[in-house]
Amino acid sequence: MICPGEEGTPLPYTASPVRLLWSDLVLFINKIWALPGIFLPLNLSRTGPWDEFYPSLRNGLIVVLHMFLMVYQVALLFSLPVMVLFMIPALWILIYIAGAFLLNYVIVMVGLNGFRRILISQVPVTERPGHERESWFYINGIAAGSRWAQMNVDQLSSTFGRRIIGIHNRTAGVVFDLVECLIQRDFSYATGDIRDSYSCIKKALLNPECDKVVLLLHSQGGIEGGLVMDWLLDEIPHDILCKLEIFTFGSAANHFNAPRWTKLASPDIISTTDLVHQHGNSIGYIEHYANAADIVALGGVLHFVDIPNRYMGRLFVRPSSGHLLNQHYLDNMFTLGPDKKVLESNQFMDMEVEPFASGIHSYINSSHRAKYRPIARDKDFLTALSQQTQTNGVDGVLRVKDFSRLWQYRNGRSPEVHVRRNTD
């Protein structure tokens, strides 16, 4: 059922799975122009050993294997209606499908995934006081075997100076990964890695020795993280869930829940005229980072973010393409120097932002929109930050780095604590 005035609004994520599936297929066709932007720009001469397309023999073999799997899986899908058309006996079709899937499984497990579900960062980091009371997790996106997922974990660890635990979202090949994305997103189906992620994150949140849980998500990991968050919102009290901070890159999710809560200052008060409320968000912080011409983000966070109460959190958009986490996101948003430390300046973080009534938009000589949308409880903080910037003699110029909480974690640092007034 579509209410009057909602004809142009995307279906709610609780709609019929079949309708959601059809809507996603139409959305993909409409965004197909951005498909090359998944891999572009390549800039192979500027890549480093952690980049997915760094010209090494092992990365080359991974790319060749993915190309073979794409051809193999497309051929398999097209062969099924042909077999039905020629009235091949159903038993033989089932045997054919079972054999094809078994071969695919052997190829991806031996050639790409390995058998470890949990990946630990392997780069040396010097933990600062307080880091021992933090837990950092990462869920990767599509087409990431164990090598690429490990490279993601290692670069994240070096970027933020923390030990990162990667929960490996195993690849089945690009085509089958896309099918799995549709099943997870449209049918809200929790695959094994989603269940493992939920278990790990819930355990960390309930650990009294842990004061902060940070969840980093990329691509399909956004879908999985969104489903994990739905479960956590059902089971974890707000005073514990507020320890959770979530940061996504090129998120493919169609929703991100984080309802606000209201609490009475004194439960003994009976007179409604004397009630004093406290307000807050269920999740401590949520930030989304997206490239404007990334087809996954265009069909995910960038498509749904403007729907009220559908995609909670701040949004930062970089006017470029590319979907690979290390090569297209981290290298440009958290650029590392030769010493593997984040440089204090890069083009994205230095982008100027202009505050206005409903949020903050940013432009950098491009027709693409880069947007930052503050959550309600940040209004006082934004005003204070603007005043502080003017006082410091920077002519009132505000930049992305002034609003990015994730930026404050670079090189092992931690965000400053700002006192905020509760607002309605």
The least confident of 18-27, 247-256, 263-272, 408-417 is 263-272
Residue 180 pLDDT level (bands cut at 50, 70, 90): very high
Least Cα distance to 112 among 170, 54, 68 occurs for 170
Query: What would the pLDDT profile of 183-216 be if each residue is shown by its tens digit?
Result: 999 999 999 999 999 999 999 999 999 999 999 9
For residue 419, is it within any domain? no
Share of the chain above pLDDT 70, in %: 82
Comparing 355 with 231, which gets the higher pLDDT? 231
For residue 226, is it within any domain? yes
pLDDT over threshold 80, residue 26: yes
pLDDT over threshold 60, residue 60: yes
Q: What is the pLDDT of residue 47?
A: 87
For residue 324, is it within any domain? yes
For residue 343, is it within any domain? yes
pLDDT over threshold 60, residue 419: no
pLDDT over threshold 70, residue 272: no
For residue 105, is it within any domain? no
pLDDT over threshold 60, residue 69: yes
For residue 88, is it within any domain? no
When pLDDT is averaged across residues 5-20 and rounded to a whole number, the result is: 79
SS in 3 state form for the chain?
CCCCCCCCCCCCCCCCHHHHHHHHHHHHHHCHHHHHHHCCCCCHHHCCCCCCCCCCHHHHHHHHHHHHHHHHHHHHHHHHHHHHHCCCCHHHHHHHHHHHHHHHHHHHHHHHHCCCCEEECCCCCCCCCCHHHEEEEEECCCCCCHHHHHHHHHHHHHHHCCCEEEECCCCCCHHHHHHHHHHHHHHCCCCHHHHHHHHHHHHHHHCCCCCEEEEEEECHHHHHHHHHHHHHHHHCCHHHHCCEEEEEECCCCCCECCCEEEEECCCCCCCHHHCCEEEEECCCEEEEEEECCCHHHHCCHHHHCCCCCCECCEEEEECCCCCCHHHHHHHHHCCECCCCCECCCCCCCCCEEEEECCEEEECCCCCCCEEECCCHHHHHHHHHHHHHHHHCCCCCCEEHHHCCCHHHHHHHCCCCCCCCCCCC
For residue 321, is it within any domain? yes
For residue 4, the number of C-alpha atoms closer than 13 Å in the C-beta half-sphere is 0
Beta bridge partners of 279: 262
When pLDDT is averaged across residues 14-28 and rounded to a whole number, the result is: 93
Task: Report the alpha-carbon distance of residue 316 to residue 290 in Å, rounded.
Answer: 6
When pLDDT is averaged across residues 229-234 and rounded to a whole number, the result is: 94
When pLDDT is averaged across residues 260-269 and rounded to a whole number, the result is: 60
pLDDT over threshold 60, residue 394: no
- Length of the chain measured in residues: 424
For residue 253, is it within any domain? yes
Query: What would the pLDDT profile of 140-151 be if each residue is shown by its tens digit?
Result: 999 999 999 999
Query: What would the pLDDT profile of 281-316 be if each residue is shown by its tens digit?
Result: 789 899 999 999 999 999 999 999 888 888 988 899
Q: What is the pLDDT of residue 422?
A: 40
Which residues form the domain of 228?
Answer: 20-41+116-259+279-359+372-412
pLDDT over threshold 90, residue 67: yes
Q: What is the pLDDT of residue 370?
A: 41
Q: What is the pLDDT of residue 367?
A: 30
CATH number at residue 300: 3.40.50
Q: What is the pLDDT of residue 265?
A: 54
Q: What is the pLDDT of residue 204?
A: 96
Q: What is the pLDDT of residue 127?
A: 84
Residue 358 pLDDT level (bands cut at 50, 70, 90): very low
Query: What would the pLDDT profile of 116-134 be if each residue is shown by its tens digit?
Result: 999 999 999 888 999 999 9
Beta bridge partners of 139: 167, 217
When pLDDT is averaged across residues 261-278 and rounded to a whole number, the result is: 52
**360-364, 381-385, 399-403, range with greatest mean pLDDT:** 399-403
Mean pLDDT for all residues in the chain: 84
- Domains of the chain: total: 1
